[in-house]
Structure 1
Amino acid sequence: MKLIRNIAFPFVPVYYAVTSLRNKLYDFGIKKSKSYDFPVICVGNLSVGGTGKTPMIEYLIRLLKDDCKVATLSRGYKRKTKGFQLANEFSTAESLGDEPFQFYNKFKNDILVAVDSDRINGINELKKLENPPNVVLLDDAFQHRKVKAGLNILLTTYHNPYFSDFVLPTGNLREPRSGAKRADIIIVTKCPNSLGEAEKREFVKQISPKENQHVFFSSISYSEFIFSSENKRKLDTETNFTLVTGIANASPLVSFLNEKNLKFEHLNFKDHHEFSAQDILALEKKELIVTTEKDFMRLKQHEALKTKLFYLPITVAIDKEIEINKLIKDFTAC
C-alpha cells in the first residue's frame, strides 16, 4: 500500500488543485452554503478517518441531552437504504450504518438519530417533525460545505496530525491543510496520558491557530468491563480471547490491551468491514470475541455469536473540560 501511494504522488497536485478550487468556490460564495437560525454543530476531520468522531459525537450528546432536544445527522456510510431515515425500533446497522446505529442503541430515549447523504434535506426533514430538535450534530460533515454549521469542531490525531500529512492519494487528507482554518475548535485526539504542557504548547505552535480558534487535547478512556447484549465481564479476568476490529486505526486499542498484559489474537479488518458468511463461520469457532462498539453493532445480529461476543466501550477525556463545555453550551444556549 505504501509503495502504491508513493507511485501515486504525481496525482497529489491534481487532487490538491481540485479540492482547493472547490473550497475557494464556497469561500467566495460562488457555490452556496446554507446556514441556520438554530445551533448546528459539525464534527469532522481533514483525514479519511480514524480521528475519533464517534466518541466525540457521544461526548456532545452527553453534554447537551439533558438541556437540549438533540439530533444526530450522519450520511449512514455503507447502509443498505437510501434517502432520509429516522432511527426507530426496527432500525438496524444495515438500515442506518454502524455508527448511527450505535448512537441509537445508546441514546434512543434521549435524542433523535437520522441519516441522509443530503445534509440539507436531512435537516429539513428533522425540522418537520412534530417534536423537532433544537440542536443538530452533523457527524463527519467538515467537507460537506453545502451546510454552513454554526460551530465547526475539527479532530486530528496526536500521532498523525494533519499538518504533517499530505492530500490523497499519497497522504490521508481529504483536502489541503488550509481547510483547518474553517474550524472554530480543533481537538487533538488519542493523546498519550503522559502528554505534558510543554509538549502541548509545541503542538499548538505547529497548528498555528487563528485568534478565534480554540485548541484542546483529548485522550481515550477504556472501560474496565466488556459488555455483551445481556451481560458484562471484567476485562482483566479475560486471559485469552480474539480481538476483532474493523476500524480505521486499531493501534491504540491493541496498545492498551498489550499494556494490560492480556493474551489475545487480533483479526484486523478494514474500516466498516462487511462481515461475510465465511467471516462469521470463522468467528463461531472462537471461544470469546472482544470487539469495538462499532463492530459490535454489525456482529450482534448473528445468533451464533450471541454468547461469546463482547465489546469494549470507550469515552473521551478532554483537557480544559470546563472551558470546552462552556464554549459548546454558550453556542447552543439551550
Structure 2
Amino acid sequence: MTFALQLLLRPFSWLYAAVLAVRNWLYDRGWKPTTAFVQVPVLSVGNLRVGGTGKTPHVAWLVAWLQARGQQPALLSRGYGRRTRGYRLTTALDSAATVGDEPWQQFGQFGGTVAVAVSENRVAGIGQLLAEVPAPTAVVLDDAYQHRRVRPAVNILLTEQQRPFYADFVLPAGRLRESRAGAARADAVIITKCAPDLSAATRATITAQVRRYARPEVPVLFSAYDYGPAVPVPGTAAGRIAAPEGGSEVLLLTGIAQPAPLLAHLAAAGYRVAHHACFADHHAFTPAEIVALAAQCQPGQGVLTTQKDAARLQEPALAASVADLPVFYIPITVRFLADGEARLASLLDPYFPLPAVG
C-alpha cells in the first residue's frame, strides 16, 4: 500500500478503531458479559494483526508442553473456511472442508490424541468440550484474542518481527484488527518468525517498543522457526520419488498469508524453486489448479508445500488430481530464543503444577 493511499484511508481506520475501542471499553467495564471457566484453565493464543503471525505452530508448541506436563489439553477454534456450522468435534471422518484447514492439520499432527473442536461461539464450545469424555484438563483457544466473551486464564499475543503491531495501523489503512492499545490485555507477548541469531540489542529495542502498549510486567519473548525435512503428503505420489533435499529443483505450492519465510528457508537450504503457485491464505484448491501445477512438474521434480496446505490437499474432491503428483510438506516447529521458553513456562506453571514426587 502506498503512503498516499494509507493517508487517505486513515480517517476510516480511526472510525473503525473508535468503534472497537467502545466495544473493548464495554467489556473492560463489565457492561458486556464475559465468561471465565473455573473448571479448567483456558489459554488463548491470538494476534492484533490479520493473518500470518504463526498461531498454528505456537499452539502446537503449547499443546505439546501441556502434554509433557501430564495434562489432557483440548483445542478449540472457530474453524475458519469450513462448510459446516456450530460445534463439531473433529474425527477421522472429517476434512478441512468440515472443520477448517488448521483444525484438521492439528488433529492429524497430534494423531487423534488431542480433542480438536470448532465452534463460532467459543463460550458454548468450551462448555461442550468440558462435557466430552474424558474431559480436558486445559483448553487452548486458537485465534481468540478479539473474542472477548471468554475471559482466559492466560492471554498470549503474537506479533511478527518483520510486521510488528506497534508499527502497523488499524484496517483499512493497515492490517490491525484493533488498535495497538489492545496489547494491554496480553499476559505474554511473543515476537515470532525471528532470525535465529537475533541479537540481544535488537531484542531490547523491540521489547522497548512493545512496552509502550503492553503492561510493564508482561514478558516479551522471541521465537524462531525450525524447518524439518520434507514429509510425504498422504494420497499423493510422494512415495514414488525420494524426498527433495537441498540442491533439488522443486515446485512450491502455498496458500498461506506469509510465504516469504518459507521461501527464505528453501533458498538458504539450497532448493531451487522452478515454479511457485501462490494463493491467498486458506485458499480452497480446485482440481483445475492442481492439474495446472502438475503440468509444470517435470520428471523427478517434487512439489513442496506447507503442512496447512497439505491438510487442504487431502480433500476427497482433489483425490484424483493429486494422486499422481509427488507432494511433500515442510514441517515447522517453534524454538524460543534466549530464556523465552523458561519464562513462558514460569507463567504457565501456577496453572499446571507438576505432581509431587514421593
Q: Give the TM-score taking structure 2 as reference length.
A: 0.89
Q: Distance in 2 between matches of 1:218 and 1:8?
A: 33
- Counterpart of 2:12 in 1: which secondary structure? helix
Pairs within 5 Å for 1:138-287: 138-208=141-211, 209-229=214-234, 231=239, 233-237=242-246, 239-264=248-273, 265-287=275-297
- Counterpart of 1:188 in 2: which secondary structure? strand
Q: Distance in 2 between matches of 1:278 and 1:28?
A: 52
- Counterpart of 1:137 in 2: which secondary structure? strand
Q: Which one is further off, 323-332 or 255-264?
A: 323-332
- 1:63 maps to 65
Instruction: Give the CA deviation at 1:108.
Output: 3.3
Pairs within 5 Å for 1:49-88: 49-66=51-68, 67-88=70-91
Between the aligned residues of both structures, percent identity stands at 38
- Counterpart of 2:245 in 1: which secondary structure? helix
Q: Distance in 1 between matches of 2:346 and 2:65?
A: 10
- Counterpart of 1:311 in 2: which secondary structure? strand
- 2:346 maps to 326
> Structure 1 168/64 Cα, relative in aligned 2: closer, same or farther at 3 Å?
same
- Give CA-to-partner distance per residue, 1:113-137, whole Å, 9 cap, x none: 0000100010011111121111000
Quick one: which of 324, 329, 335 aligns to 1:317?
335
Q: Distance in 2 between matches of 1:55 and 1:311?
A: 14
- 1:14 maps to 15
Does the aligned pair in 1 maintain the 2:246–2:270 contact within 8 Å? no
The residue identity in structure 2 corresponding to 1:210 is R
Q: Which one is further off, 139-148 or 187-196?
A: 187-196
Q: Distance in 2 between matches of 1:46 and 1:118?
A: 20
Matched, 1:114 2:114: no
Instruction: Give the CA deviation at 1:323.
Output: 2.5
Q: Distance in 1 between matches of 2:135 and 2:295?
A: 46
Query: How many residues are matched?
Result: 334
Instruction: Give the CA deviation at 1:273.
Output: 0.8
The residue identity in structure 1 corresponding to 2:312 is R
The residue identity in structure 1 corresponding to 2:29 is F
Does the aligned pair in 1 maintain the 2:244–2:250 contact within 8 Å? no
Q: Which one is further off, 18-27 or 193-202?
A: 193-202
Q: Distance in 2 between matches of 1:233 and 1:102?
A: 24
Q: Distance in 1 between matches of 2:247 and 2:291?
A: 23
The residue identity in structure 1 corresponding to 2:294 is E
- 1:99 maps to 102
Does the aligned pair in 2 maintain the 1:64–1:329 contact within 8 Å? no
> Structure 1 60/90 Cα, relative in aligned 2: closer, same or farther at 3 Å?
same
Does the aligned pair in 1 maintain the 2:304–2:329 contact within 8 Å? yes
> Structure 1 111/329 Cα, relative in aligned 2: closer, same or farther at 3 Å?
farther
Instruction: Give the CA deviation at 1:237.
Output: 4.8
The residue identity in structure 2 corresponding to 1:296 is A
Instruction: Give the CA deviation at 1:278.
Output: 2.1
Q: What CA RMSD, in Å, does the superposition of the two structures yield over aligned residues? A: 1.8
- 1:293 maps to 307
Instruction: Give the CA deviation at 1:5.
Output: 5.1
- Counterpart of 1:8 in 2: which secondary structure? helix
- Give CA-to-partner distance per residue, 1:193-249, whole Å, 9 cap, x none: 221111111111111142331110000111133332275955425621111111111
Quick one: which of 25, 42, 48 aligns to 1:46?
48
Does the aligned pair in 2 maintain the 1:283–1:305 contact within 8 Å? no
The residue identity in structure 2 corresponding to 1:179 is G
- Give CA-to-partner distance per residue, 1:38-84, whole Å, 9 cap, x none: 20000000000110000000001111124111100000001011100
Does the aligned pair in 2 maintain the 1:86–1:114 contact within 8 Å? yes
> Structure 1 4/244 Cα, relative in aligned 2: closer, same or farther at 3 Å?
farther
Q: Distance in 1 between matches of 2:231 and 2:331?
A: 7
Structure 1, unpaired ranges of 5+:
none
Does the aligned pair in 2 maintain the 1:226–1:233 contact within 8 Å? no
Q: Distance in 2 between matches of 1:333 and 1:28?
A: 32
Does the aligned pair in 2 maintain the 1:227–1:233 contact within 8 Å? no
- 2:31 maps to 30
